[in-house]
A = this chain, B = another copy of it.
Amino acid sequence: MAPSEPRGRHSAEKTRARIVEAALQALRDEGIAGISARSIARRGGFNQALIFYHFGSVEGLLVAVARSESERRSALYAPALAEVSSLAELVAVARRLHDEEFQEGTVAALTQVLAGAVGSPELSRGISESLRPWTTLVGDTIDRLLADTPFRDLVPRDDLTAAVAALFLGIELLTGLDTELSGDSLFTTMESVARVIDGLLRSAAPPATA
Contact = CB atoms under 8 A, between A and B. Distances in A.
Interface of A: 28-35, 108, 111-112, 114-121, 124-125, 127-128, 150-151, 154-156, 158-160, 162-163, 165-171, 173-174, 176-181, 185-186, 189-193, 195-197, 199-201, 203-204, 207-210
Given A116-B31, A173-B115, A196 B209 contact: yes
A195 B210 contact: yes
Given A127-B177, A200-B201, A204-B200, A31 B119 contact: yes
A160 B174 CA distance: 13
A192 B150 CA distance: 11
A124 B178 CA distance: 7
Given A33-B116, A159-B185, A170-B173, A199 B195 contact: no
18 contacts: A28-B118, A29-B118, A30-B118, A32-B33, A33-B118, A114-B176, A115-B116, A117-B177, A118-B176, A150-B196, A151-B193, A154-B189, A155-B193, A167-B170, A169-B174, A195-B210, A196-B209, A200-B201
Contacts of A31: 32, 115-120
A174 B159 CA distance: 12
Nearest to A204: B200
A133 B140 CA distance: 39
Given A156-B189, A173-B169, A192-B209, A178 B128 contact: yes
